[in-house]
Structure 1
Amino acid sequence: MMKTVLCYGDSLTWGYDPENRARHALEDRWPTALAAGLGEGVHMVADGLNGRTTAFDDFTGDCDRNATRTMPTALHAHAPLDLVIIMLGSNDMKPAVAGTAHAASKGLRRLLQLVRLHAWPVEQDPPQTLVVAPPPLVETADPDFAAMFEGGVEQSAMLASFYADLADEMGAGFFDAGSVAQCSSVDGVHLDAKNTRAIGRGLSPVARLLLGH
C-alpha cells in the first residue's frame, strides 16, 4: 500500500541556493533525498515556500507566508496522508516577524494542533507528525541577510530544544537537522546542495520508523 508523506516547509524545503540565489536541482532537495532513502511504496509531496513562517504574517511577501492559514489547504489537497513532516522556524527569527525561538515553538504547536484536528476529506486516521528543527543560523557578511535576521543566530540555536520538548508533549517525532547540516555563511540562513541532501538522508530512519515502512 502506497504511503504518502507531506514535507511542509520554507525555502530550506523549496531548495533555495545561497550561492546563486536560484533553486537547487530537484535531486539536491531534501524531500527527494528522503524519498530515495525510503525507497518504493512512498509518495513524497514537497511543499516548500520561501519566507514561510509557523504562524505569523509577513506582509513583505507576495503570497501568504503564514502556515496556520495555508497548511489546512495543503492537508486537504494531498489527503490521505500517512506522515506530515514540518520544518519551519527560520523565518520566525526575523525581528519583523517574531524574532524568538519561543514564538516559533508556539507557532509550531498550533500547526501540530491543526494536523491533529483537521477535518479530512476522506476517512483516515490522523497522520503521524514529525517536527524538524532547522539548522541554526550562522554569522554572515551579507549585510541584507544579517540585518533581516538580527539576533537570529542566538535565538535559532534554541529552536531544537524547544521543538524537542514540544514534539514529546504532542506525541510527534523529532529530528534536529542541525545534527547533520549547517547553514551557509554566504547568507547565514540557507543550505548548499550537500547540506540539503544530508537532511533528507538523516530523516530517513526516523520517517521509516513513523511510517512503519
Structure 2
Amino acid sequence: MAAALGDGYSIIEEGLSARTTSVDDPRLNGSAYLPAALASHLPLDLVIILLDTNDTKSYFRRTPYEIANGIGKLAGQVLTSAGGVGTPYAAPKLLIVAPPPLAPTPDPWFEGMFEGGYEKSLELAKNYKALADFLKVDFLDAGEFVKTDGCDGIHFSAETNITLGRAVAEKVKWIFLSATQDAAA
C-alpha cells in the first residue's frame, strides 16, 4: 500500500494475527487495544479497519451481524478518538474493509476452529457495508479484489497482500481526493 501511495503518505501499521473485533482470544481484543493505539499516533487523517475472520471462530458463536457490531464498536472508538484523550484534533476519516470469505482449510485443527466460519464470512461484506452506510464512512470489500489464498485457507499469500495493498491504496487516494474536492466546493 505504501509503495502504491508513494510520497506524501505516512502509513502506521497496527496489524496483529489473531486479533478480534471485541472479544478476547486470549487478550487479542481489538477494542481493548485500539484507543491507546489511536492516542499514541494522533493526529491521524484516516484509520483503516480490516477485521475480522477471527470472530468467525466456532467457539465465539457470533453471527455475521454481531461481528459487524464489533466493527461498529471499533468505528465508534475511531470516530470519537480525538475527543477521547483530551486533544484538539479532529476525528480521523474511517475506511472499513470487509475481509474476503474464508477458503477451505486443509488443516483439521483450523477446520474445527473455524467450523461454520466460511458461511459467516460470506455475509461479512454485506453487514460491514450496511454499517459503513449507517455511519457515513467509507467502505471497501476486499473480496472484490482478493481471496484467502494462503497455505491455511485463512490468511493471504504474499501476492494477495500486494494486490490488496494496491486496491486499498486506490481507495485511500479516492477518499482524500473526494475530501479535497468537497473542501473546494
- Relative to the length of structure 2, the TM-score reads 0.90
Q: What letter corresponds to residue 94 of structure 2 in structure 1? A: T
Are the aligned partners of 1:135 and 1:177 in contact in 2 as well (CA < 8 Å)? yes
Residues 1-213 of structure 1: pairs in structure 2 closer than 5 A: 34-59=1-26, 64-118=27-81, 119-120=84-85, 122-184=87-149, 186-212=151-177
Q: What letter corresponds to residue 56 of structure 2 in structure 1? A: M
Q: What letter corresponds to residue 111 of structure 2 in structure 1? A: A
Larger relative contact order (CA 8 Å, sep ≥ 6): 1
- Relative to the length of structure 1, the TM-score reads 0.78
Provide the aligned length of Structure 1 versus Structure 2.
176
Q: Select the structure that is richer in helix.
A: 2
Are the aligned partners of 1:79 and 1:121 in contact in 2 as well (CA < 8 Å)? no
Runs of 4+ in 1 over 4 A off after TM superposition: none
Which segments of 5 or more consecutive residues in structure 2 lack a partner in the other structure?
Answer: 181-185
Q: Structure 1: how far apart are the matches of 2:89 and 2:106?
A: 48
Two-structure CA RMSD over aligned residues (Å): 1.4
Aligned residue number for residue 183 of structure 2? none
Q: What letter corresponds to residue 90 of structure 1 in structure 2? A: T
Partner SS for 2:12: strand
Q: CA deviation at 1:185?
A: 6.2
Partner SS for 1:158: helix
Are the aligned partners of 2:58 and 2:112 in contact in 1 as well (CA < 8 Å)? no
Q: Select the structure that is richer in strand.
A: 1
Partner SS for 1:84: strand
Q: Structure 2: how far apart are the matches of 1:46 and 1:90?
A: 18
Q: CA deviation at 1:120?
A: 4.1
